[in-house]
Each structure stands twice: as C-alpha cells, then as structure tokens.
Amino acid sequence: MTTDPRRRIPRTDAVLADPRVAAAVAVVGKARVKDVVLAVQQRARDGEIGPDAVVDAVVTGLPRSAASLRPVLNATGVVLHTNLGRAPLSGAARDALVTAAGTTDVELDLVTGGRGKRGAGAMGALADAVPDAGGVHVVNNGAAALILAATALAGGDAAERSSTGGARREIVIARGEMVEIGDGFRLPELLESTGARLREVGTTNRVRVDDYAAAIGPATGMILKVHPSNFVVQGFTSSVPAGELTGLGVPVVADIGSGLLAPHPLLPDEPDAATELRAGVPLVTASGDKLLGGPQAGLLLGDAELVHRLRRHPLARALRVDKLTLAALEATLRGPVPPVRAMLEADRDALRARARTVAAAVGGEAVDCAAQVGGGGAPGVDLPSAAVALPAGYAEALRAGDDPVVGRVEQGRCLLDLRSVLPVDDDRLVAAVRAVTVRFSSHPVPAVTHCLHPEGASS
C-alpha cells in the first residue's frame, strides 16, 4: 500500500509549535507567520518540496521584523538621498526615539502634575540653536511649514478674504522660484491649494526689487522667496535676497529648504536661517531632515508674534508633529554632531584611506570621485570623495543582498562612495561585498547591468 506523501505535510499547529517559528510569532505577529506557513504547505502539496522540508522552509521564509522597511547602506555618494530616507539619525536621536516610543511627558509637567507645553524641550533646543529667531515652531515637513505660512498669511478662507473685498489674496513669487520639489510635487500647486493666488514676478532667469514692488497691492498676503535647492541657473541671472524685500510693507517668507541654521564654510552659496533672520526676514521655513541631519520636520523660525499666530492657526493642529519627531529633533540639536554633518565635513584623505582598506579587503580598487550633498541642498556642489570600484554587476547584486548596499554605476563600474557611509559601517560594507563575491564565484559576474542612477537629485 502506498501512502500519499501529502498526508505527511505537517499541520499548521505542528509548524507553529516549532520553537523557531514560535519565536517569530513574538516578533512579527501570528497572522504573518501563518501566511508563510500556508504558502509553504501549498508548495509541499504541489510537490515542490518534500513534507520533511516544510518546517525549515517556513523558518527560511519568515520575515525578520514586523515592518517592511530594511536598513540600507548608502554608498551612492549622495549624502541626503531622498529615496533612502534623507538624513540618517545620530545615536543620540535614535536613543531619544526609543525613549519617547513609550508613554512620555510630552505634554505633562511632572512637577505640578498639570498640562505642560507640548515639545517644550525641542522648541527650547531650536530657539537656542537659532538665537536670532524670536519664535520657533515645528510641523511635519518643509512643505507643511510653507502651507501653514501661506494659509495664515494669504489663504483663501472667507473670514480672511473679507479684508480684501472677497478677492483671493496673493503670494508674490519670482518666476525662477516656481520649483518642483520632487516626485511630481510642485510648489506653485502646493501654495494654490491653500486658496491663495500666485502673482509671478520677473523672468525665469532674472528678477529685481522693482518687479516685486510693482506687484504689491492691497491683495498681497506675503512675498515668498524659495531657494532653488535642487537645481542651478547659470549665466545671465539675478535674484533678490529676501532681506532686500522686507521694506515693501508685506510679510516676507524665506523657504531656505536645507535647514542650515548658520553659515557653513563648505557650502558658501547655501542660505541659512541666521543670516536671513539677521537681514530682517520675518519668517524662515526649512526642513529638519536635510543639512540639519534630524528627523523629517518643518521648521518655522522668525518674528515672535508671527510665529505665535501660525502656531495658533487651526491648521497647525493638523500639521502637528509626533512625540517621536520632537524627541529626535531635540537630540539632534543638543547632542553630538549628527551623521550628515560628519559626512559633509569628512576629510578627503581620511576617505581615501578608508577606500584603500575596504578595497584591499574585497579585492576592489580605491579611486577618487565626487560626491554630492543631494536633494537636500547645495545643487552643483561637488564634494571631493573616494570610492571602492568594482565590476558594474556588483551594483544590482549588492542592492539585492541580505544587507542591501546601494552604490552608483559610473563609467561602467560600480562605485561605493565612502562619503555617504559612516566609518562604523565600513565592516558591514566589506561583509556585504564579500557575500556577493561568494555568490558570483558560483555564478560569474554579469558583464553589463542596468545603470543605477542616484535619484537624490530631486528633493
């Protein structure tokens, strides 16, 4: 008598009783583990694997965590890579996130037992970091900061419109600053979604103070200056610094984008909050996860009364940041130098020495190259860097590895640029490359591969 091997396929309960599978239930939840078990049992029923292999196949197929986001080594040389989550957080910020993840005193005064000011610690850190700002506020991201300012100063709600006889209020903005910030999001559309009307001045390449002055009228709600953070216009150009527009009798908002709080010697053309505020600009907006090196956030810095008005606007509640953001932002501002700053300031010779060490360990070649700040700022600025060059086929294989690495393909080679990798991760990088080499030793390196291009150019 022959027995159908399918009868020997272990039942779900039996698979779940395996200690390795039971441990996974505690990490990723029963439902996801069950899905894997059902899929593997089906493979056994289809005869793809034997009944005895079911439990091992389940263990191999189990997800490693409940969330699908995976750690990735950014060896693209684009320090702020939007597709890779922009700024990697400092150890201090990560610790703060974990602490804040539980119940925390975000809005409670533990001394009095009364309600505390939400995020007082983060606001204090920001105020200390930008002493020229009379008031500070934090929202979800740079776009939210702009939306809040535009809504409060020029938005189209009925009560506000009555002051202009029913007309929509205007945001005066230079033509050359109507930018797309990435993934199809366009600043002009974002601003118009508030009900404001855009009043464009100047031409694509040039604008003068007179152009702004001529456009100001009773309907003007604000002047907006936007830093072109992801492209450069060269040649016959002129623009007006925000500080020169403050005498026109309407609020000026400067969207500096990058979140540089003070001037940085390596990025002389990048605008910073302190300089704008000192020039008299009443409101500066910026992102938290670009050059500041913190969590995704939108910073509003400026005139105390104006910032207070924005904070009390009904929309502010909808743009409110989470306790996790507040914790990470405060730790970024108060704690040790965040990774983005360390990467930006890394010395070329130190990068070269690391490239030689990694290259020797993996059998690649150490080469000089040029890295970039990325979508977060400083377009067109080359940061002198060093990389490990490997055959182009490595790019795809490294991306698909157990510990994924994203490099860039340049002139037919895969470059692993060390400027966007922290020194503590060099060993991880070596291990990831070696794992690919081992795989290639049984399957030869593909000669040509898809060109991987660093998407970081958009912001």
Ligand X SMILES: *Cc1c(COP(=O)(O)O)cnc(C)c1O
Residue ranges in contact with ligand X by CB under 6 A? 141-143, 181, 226-227, 229, 255, 257, 287, 298, 459
Looking at the Cβ atoms of 339 and 379, the one nearer to ligand X is: 379
Least distance in Å: CB of 143 to ligand X? 4
Looking at the Cβ atoms of 241 and 401, the one nearer to ligand X is: 241
Looking at the Cβ atoms of 74 and 140, the one nearer to ligand X is: 140
Looking at the Cβ atoms of 54 and 321, the one nearer to ligand X is: 321
Least distance in Å: CB of 142 to ligand X? 2
238 forms beta bridges with 206
CB 285 within 8 A of CB 299: yes
Quick one: DSSP state of residue 400?
A: T
Least distance in Å: CB of 287 to ligand X? 3
Alpha helices (H) in 319-383, listed in sequence order: 323-334, 339-345, 348-362
Six token digits for residue 193: 């979604």
CB 403 within 8 A of CB 379: no
Least distance in Å: CB of 190 to ligand X? 9
Least distance in Å: CB of 275 to ligand X? 16
Least distance in Å: CB of 198 to ligand X? 15
Six token digits for residue 324: 């996790």
Least distance in Å: CB of 341 to ligand X? 18
186 forms beta bridges with 180
Looking at the Cβ atoms of 10 and 288, the one nearer to ligand X is: 288
Query: What backbone torsions phi and psi does residue 48 show, to the nearest 5 degrees?
Result: -70, -35
Q: In what order do the strands lie in the sheet with 408-410?
A: 78-80, 365-374, 382-391, 413-417, 408-410
Six token digits for residue 432: 């990831």
Looking at the Cβ atoms of 224 and 433, the one nearer to ligand X is: 224
Looking at the Cβ atoms of 10 and 257, the one nearer to ligand X is: 257
Looking at the Cβ atoms of 100 and 260, the one nearer to ligand X is: 260
CA–CA separation, 54 and 456 (whole Å)? 42
**450: which residues sit within 8 A by CB, 6+ positions away?**
396
Looking at the Cβ atoms of 298 and 335, the one nearer to ligand X is: 298
Looking at the Cβ atoms of 194 and 229, the one nearer to ligand X is: 229
Which residue is associated with the tokens 């081992």? 438
Least distance in Å: CB of 148 to ligand X? 12
Six token digits for residue 216: 């100001």
**90: which residues sit within 8 A by CB, 6+ positions away?**
293, 331, 332, 335, 336, 337, 338, 339
Least distance in Å: CB of 285 to ligand X? 8
Least distance in Å: CB of 229 to ligand X? 3
Looking at the Cβ atoms of 15 and 300, the one nearer to ligand X is: 300
**416: which residues sit within 8 A by CB, 6+ positions away?**
75, 358, 364, 387, 388, 389, 390, 398, 405, 407, 429, 433
Least distance in Å: CB of 300 to ligand X? 12
**183: which residues sit within 8 A by CB, 6+ positions away?**
458
Least distance in Å: CB of 373 to ligand X? 11
Nearest to 329 by CA among 91, 133, 126: 126
CA–CA separation, 217 and 227 (whole Å)? 24
CA–CA separation, 248 and 223 (whole Å)? 9
Looking at the Cβ atoms of 229 and 325, the one nearer to ligand X is: 229
CA–CA separation, 306 and 282 (whole Å)? 8
410 forms beta bridges with 413
Half-sphere exposure for 50 (CA within 13 Å, toward CB): 2
